[in-house]
């Protein structure tokens, strides 16, 4: 298989990026789809597009996608409470396992919301249970790479008129992240007008409507136990995964 990575920018600012893992015979078709995607991006027409095509020699891991559960909520406050409870449920198990004070979980979640609302990172932040940031480069964060979804999954998701390509891309990230041992992920979109975000755990991909206000920036936080961070980093970036 081959990895295709596209990133586009304008005046040095990131406009869009996407990646695919495809068989040799699909390289041309998917390359043109990625270029089309770059050219028609909502952030404007780019003045620079980079398309990288590389043969993947490692074993490709096939992962079953997290179940999609949409949570309808009309206010940001309520949506954030729902996200908080989902995160708490998951984090509590790890706090207890590591003998940590569960009263501190709210503080950790507040910190995560602060990070995503600051919106100044290209990749995700990684937080351990004590609220330490574990990314190699703080401003950059970690970018989950070498992922794709099968056409069947993508078609199945897009058949639902309430879902878009955003969900297809996000489910690939969330499924890989959770399978790599991340306890849970909190995400809001970096698109100003897209207010749906999600919490991903082993129990599913919980899309939560109105997780931020229109006009707000977004971000991603991965919650982890702090052991084996180098191994986790390597997997998140380099392990080839196709989500089905
Ligand atoms: C969804 O609607 O399922 C996508 C949630 C947000 C994904 C993040 C993004 O597109 O920037």
pLDDT at 135 over 80: yes
Please give the Cα distance from 85 to 99 (Å, whole number): 20
Closest Cα to atom 8, ligand 1: which residue?
Answer: 189
List the domain boundaries for the chain.
Answer: 2-57, 62-243
pLDDT in tens, 41-88: 777 899 999 999 999 999 999 999 999 999 999 999 999 999 999 999
- Give the per-residue pLDDT at 239: 96
Q: What is the mean pLDDT of residues 177-184?
A: 97
Task: Establish whether residue 190 lines the binding site of ligand 1, counting it when its CB lies within 6 angstroms of any ligand atom.
Answer: yes
- 149 — phi, psi (to 5°)? -115, 155
pLDDT in tens, 189-244: 988 999 999 999 999 999 999 999 999 999 999 999 977 899 999 999 999 999 99
- Give the per-residue pLDDT at 122: 83
- Give the per-residue pLDDT at 147: 96
Q: Which of 14, 190, 196 to mutate to test the pocket of ligand 1 (most atoms within 8 A of CB)?
A: 196
Task: Establish whether residue 191 lines the binding site of ligand 1, counting it when its CB lies within 6 angstroms of any ligand atom.
Answer: yes
Q: What is the mean pLDDT of residues 151-158?
A: 97
For ligand 1, the distance from its centroid to the CA atom of residue 184, given in whole angstroms, is 16
Long-range (24+ apart) CB contacts under 8 A made by 44-48 are 44/10, 44/15, 45/10, 46/8, 46/9, 46/10, 46/15, 46/16, 47/9, 47/10, 47/11, 48/8, 48/9, 48/10
Contacts of residue 93, defined as CB under 8 A and 6 or more positions apart, other chains included, come to none
- Give the per-residue pLDDT at 139: 81
Closest Cα to atom 9, ligand 1: which residue?
Answer: 189
Task: Establish whether residue 175 lines the binding site of ligand 1, counting it when its CB lies within 6 angstroms of any ligand atom.
Answer: no
Q: What is the ipTM of this complex?
A: 0.96
Please give the Cα distance from 217 to 187 (Å, whole number): 11
């Amino acid at each position: 298989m081959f990895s295709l990575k596209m990133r586009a920018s304008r005046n040095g600012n990131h406009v869009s990026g996407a990646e695919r893992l495809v068989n040799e015979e699909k390289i041309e078709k998917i390359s043109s789809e990625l270029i089309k995607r770059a050219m028609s991006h909502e952030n404007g027409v780019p003045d620079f597009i980079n398309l990288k095509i590389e043969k993947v020699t490692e074993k490709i891991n096939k992962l079953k996608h997290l179940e999609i559960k949409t949570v309808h909520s009309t206010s940001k406050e309520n949506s954030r409470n729902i996200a908080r409870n989902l995160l708490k449920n998951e984090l509590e198990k790890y706090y207890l396992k590591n003998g940590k004070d569960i009263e501190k979980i709210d503080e950790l979640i507040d910190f995560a919301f602060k990070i995503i609302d600051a919106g100044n990172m290209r990749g995700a932040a990684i937080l351990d249970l004590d609220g330490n940031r574990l990314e190699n480069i703080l401003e950059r964060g970690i970018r989950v790479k070498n992922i794709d979804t099968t056409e069947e999954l993508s078609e199945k998701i897009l058949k639902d008129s309430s879902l878009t390509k955003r969900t297809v891309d996000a489910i690939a990230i969330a499924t890989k992240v959770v399978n790599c041992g991340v306890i849970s992920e909190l995400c809001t979109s970096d698109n100003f007008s897209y207010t749906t975000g999600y919490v991903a755990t082993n129990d599913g991909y919980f899309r939560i409507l109105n997780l931020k206000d229109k006009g707000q920036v977004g971000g991603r936080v991965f919650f982890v136990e702090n052991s084996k961070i180098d191994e986790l980093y390597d997997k998140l970036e380099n392990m080839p995964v196709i989500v089905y």
